Every structure is written in structure tokens, then in C-alpha cells.
Amino acid sequence: MGKGLVVVGLAVAALGALLMAGLPLGRLPGDLVFRRGGATIYLPLGTCLLVSVGISLLSLWWRR
């Protein structure tokens, strides 16, 4: 349990460092933004796909 928490913490820290360095997470092709009047709807489809693939690869690596 302890190792898992350390790995999750390091992964979150690494993601934060990448975002601060300028990784365009949240503005990828496939992310949809609808603006009408005073309302904005944001659907991060491309970002969700990228995060899902990353988590899948990480879990496959972790199980080996």
C-alpha cells in the first residue's frame, strides 16, 4: 500500500511539473469548446483519451 501511494504521488508531481513546463493538456485537438452568450461548455475528449491511454499503459507496466 505504501509503495502504491508513493508512486501515485510521484505521478501527480510529474504531471504537475509537465503542466507547469507548458504541456498543452486541456487544449489538444479533439477538445471541444462551445460558447454561446454567457455560457461555456468544455468537453475535453482528446485530453480524456490521452489520459486514458497513459493510465492503461501505466497499469500494464505495473502488473508485470
Residue 36 scores a pLDDT above 90 = yes
Kindly report the pTM of this predicted structure.
0.61
pLDDT band for position 20 (50/70/90)?
A: confident
Range of the domain at 34: 2-63
CA distance 8 to 49: 20
* End-to-end CA gap in the chain: 17
Residue 44 scores a pLDDT above 80 = yes
pLDDT band for position 39 (50/70/90)?
A: very high
- Cell numbers representing residue 7 in the block: 508512486
CA distance 41 to 44: 10
Domains in the chain, number: 1
Residue 17 scores a pLDDT above 80 = yes
